[in-house]
Structure 1
């Protein structure tokens, strides 16, 4: 199963949302977008991963995670250390979720190859901003 994730923040920290696409044999089987509150851009990327692993838990034992966040991918692949306390907390939650899978791979992709997840994250942000500008 192939999962594309993205976190979007307007400001750093700022209003944030996540976008997730889940594909099996190149067919989209599920999409998810969600406003997540005030976060940094890196926290939003990590929240996208955490949520994707929660959503996929009963779907498949093997997942390929793709993200345009070089920091997230290199930290999950243990190439970079995690220094941020907030990211360490989310990272522990992700590590616990990873135990539910037989195999997880993390791959960095260019932003252009992650456009659908990016679109979904921005759609959730636009919906939140639009709904709250009418109040």
Structure 2
């Protein structure tokens, strides 16, 4: 797990955060062990900003990956940041409730399950698909 956290920490260094100055990095591991990283990319209007987890998911999906088993998230503050609600919903599109989400607290790295972070998420089943 330490390797995945390190990849998230490295990714946050590339963040574009001129407004909040709050860097976030994410490292998403696919079922076959490939790791995709992302960082937050802010925009002056905020609503067009990209979150680190979304960038990582986008990179993976763009390359044909649809199965994931682990995500590590880190901020420059090492404050245990978890994915926001929007990112949780994006993850739910591609991940089961048992996706492990590791959050960087510096000396500790608590783990959560996606289903615990976003119970009763909107899914294809919710939409009758």
TM bracket, shorter-chain basis: 0.3 to 0.5
Higher RCO (C-alpha under 8 Å, 6+ residues apart): 1
Q: Which has the higher strand share?
A: 1
Q: Which has the higher helix share?
A: 1
